[in-house]
């Protein structure tokens, strides 16, 4: 009996009901290999893999991937939209006030939605978004010297 085959990126796209294209495969792989990347950086990564792709095509593909739950869009205040491949665990982020570097922070409680609202106003809450702010180690060292 053979070991179960790991799904390919194309399999994941098909499983999410998305059409498989070279650009979508390259984009999903670029997001997953990156770290909270903006659209310009993602477009560059896709172009390095498959050649020309318009910025509009990247935006449209990111929207489709985010809607399908294959990538996560985050928008820290004062920052353009960023995309990451870590999905489905309702983790949070910490942002450096000085250089803007972003790091993942695991859920405060361990399961979604991680926080209980003091008043849910009748909503069925399924996600909480928390952004911690501070100085990263490099910026902390710079500011104290």
Domains of the chain: 9-82 (1.10.10.10), 88-144 (3.30.1490.190)
Look at the block and give the residue holding tokens 């399961």: 111
Annotated binding site for Zn(2+): 96, 99, 136, 139
Helices (H) and strands (E) in the chain, counts: 5, 5
- Which residues have C-beta within 8 Å of that of residue 17, sequence separation ≥ 6? 68
Supply the pTM of this predicted model.
0.83
Confidence of residue 19 (pLDDT cuts 50, 70, 90): very high
Q: What is the three-class DSSP state of 62?
A: helix
pLDDT in tens, 25-77: 999 999 999 989 999 999 999 999 999 999 999 999 999 999 999 999 999 88
Annotated binding site: 96, 99, 136, 139
């Amino acid at each position: 009996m053979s070991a179960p085959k790991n799904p390919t990126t194309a399999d994941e796209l098909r499983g999410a009901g998305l059409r498989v294209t070279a650009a979508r495969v390259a984009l999903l792989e670029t997001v997953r290999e990156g770290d909270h990347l903006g659209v310009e950086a993602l477009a560059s990564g896709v172009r390095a893999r498959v050649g020309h792709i318009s910025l509009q095509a990247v935006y449209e593909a990111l929207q489709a991937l985010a809607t399908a739950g294959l990538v996560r869009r985050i928008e820290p205040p004062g920052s353009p939209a960023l995309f990451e491949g870590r999905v489905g665990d309702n983790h949070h982020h910490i942002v450096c006030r000085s250089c803007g570097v972003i790091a993942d922070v695991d859920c405060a409680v361990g399961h979604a939605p991680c926080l209980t609202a003091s008043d849910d106003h009748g909503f069925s809450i399924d996600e909480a978004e928390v952004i911690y702010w501070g100085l990263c180690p490099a910026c902390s060292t710079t500011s104290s010297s």
